[in-house]
Amino acid sequence: MVSDSDSKADHNVVDGVLRGKYMSREKFVSAAKVGFGFCSVVFGWDIHDTPYPKELLISNKNNGYRDLLAVVDLSTFRRIPWENNVPFFLVSFMDPETKEPICACPRGTLKKVINKAEEHGWQAMAGVEYEYFHFKETAKTVSEKKFTGLEALTPGMHGYSMLRTTLNQAYFIDLFDRSQEFGINIESHHTETGPGVFETALAYTSALRVADNATLFKLSAKSIGMKHEIIPSFMAKPYGDLPGTSGHIHVSLRDKDGKSLFAITDEELASGGRKGAQYEDTKWISQECEWFLAGILDGLTDVVPTLVPTINGYKRLVGGETFWAPNAVTYGYDSRAASIRILSPPSVAQAATRLEIRVPGADVQPHLALASIFSLGLRGIEKKIALPLPPISQITTPEAKSQVRKLATSLEAATKEMMKEGSVGREILGDEFVDHFGGTREHEVNLWNAAVTNWEVERYLELI
């Protein structure tokens, strides 16, 4: 970096939107040593820069929207290939007086959970898969069209098509190559079912790294899309009559020797599975993995806003299994119909044993989602929580199905569940985080409740 004249420092807030600034070399060198001031208003307004009417703890009129201390994480160094290889770093936020992490910093929130796992001698590992629509549009054209009548990048439903990628080969390959150059390792990249839909699976790695990569992949896709006059959209459900787009998250824990804590032993594999497993579906995972799974199931309904943070995201869940979106507290061995899919022998190798959380959509904030998932899982291990229900394959009768807890079908209901006194969300994430993040979600709900939609006008204007 000696020859670089400037650098770029960015951070992501609770909505997953990246905000940052270019800095001169001299300013960056100083900031790297002691941090730098960054206006706290980025925690006091929404994705359209509208201040939250409800005064929240971190940034408000009373504290004058003071500066926070932004601390550069030098380990996040990478270069942005589409911006002349400018050096790039992520930052975390501290209270300028106490020098403690602020409660709503997404990276700081995830770091706390990772540190807790490390106290047990475990490393949190994860992978993220994004599905996302594309439109042959620009920021200018969607604004002129008022976000209606947009042109899909390609027509029709063509999942895993080798032909459809040829239609926009320059963009498809550019996105893959530039993302790799940006330090975002990609396992696979292909079309998914839906007009102009791609799916990109980010390589499995440490939880913090993959959360950073998942956030930066959206930046990569949108930036590279601009060059090709294409808008990639991570909105969970832009079409009412088509499946939405997911942000599936895979998780596991490794011990200090790098072995999967979720895997059964060679002896257990040879003898037909782990003895003492609660159900047939869990005999190929370790006891710790079963407790981790039970912990997620136990508290899932109390953290849904950290997995599905937008108004639109719940439209994806309403369709349920019909649209490949689980909307209940369920699990199962290699089941894409369940909220949590167990991936273990015999379908995968022992070392690849993991859980896939299928609730999040592509609009997920990855740091917050991973913080919730690992917090719930660790709580399950610590409390040795038993599985609260059988696997989805055994829930077949109307009576059994009636006992399954449903996930909230709106951001309003989900936020109330998370913010209620004594919620598991408050227990694992803390009151300060829940009050701040919940306040931002209440703001989204209030805007939605006040909005008059096209559907309402079309349905009622003439006939009522």
The position carrying tokens 């006059």 is 229
Q: Which amino acid is at 259?
A: K
Strands (E), 207-303: 231-233, 249-254
Eight-state DSSP code of residue 66: P
Query: Can you give the pTM of this predicted structure?
Result: 0.96
For β-strands 198-206 and 123-135, DSSP reports them as: antiparallel
State the CB neighbour count (10 A cutoff) for residue 53.
10
The sign of the dihedral angle between the CA atoms of 311, 40, 20, 359 is negative
Q: Minimal CA–CA distance to 232: which of 175, 293, 302? A: 175
Supply the angle between the helices 106-119 and 366-383 in degrees, to the nearest 10: 30
- CA atoms of 418 and 435, how far apart (whole Å): 9
Residue 89, φ and ψ in degrees, nearest 5:
-140, 155
| Half-sphere exposure for 447 (CA within 13 Å, toward CB) | 18
What does each C-alpha distance from 89 to 17, 28, 101, 115, 346 come to in angstroms? 15, 10, 18, 21, 41
* Structural Rg of the chain based on CA atoms: 22
**Residue 301 amino acid letter:** T
Output the tens digit of pLDDT for each of the chain's 464 residues. 555 767 888 877 788 889 999 999 999 999 999 999 999 999 999 999 998 888 788 888 888 889 999 999 999 999 999 999 999 999 999 999 999 999 999 999 999 999 999 999 999 999 999 999 999 999 999 999 999 999 999 999 999 998 888 989 999 999 999 999 999 999 999 999 999 999 999 999 999 999 999 999 999 999 999 999 999 999 999 999 999 999 999 999 999 999 999 999 999 999 999 999 999 999 999 999 999 999 999 999 999 999 999 999 999 998 765 556 789 999 999 999 999 999 999 999 999 999 999 999 999 999 999 999 999 999 999 999 999 999 999 999 999 999 999 999 999 999 999 999 999 999 999 999 999 999 999 999 999 999 999 999 999 999 99
1: exposed, middle or buried (C-beta count within 10 Å: 0-12, 13-18, 19+)? exposed
User: Which residues, 6 or more positions from 248, have their beta carbon under 8 angstroms from its beta carbon?
Assistant: 128, 129, 356, 357, 358, 360
Tokens of 436: 């701040």
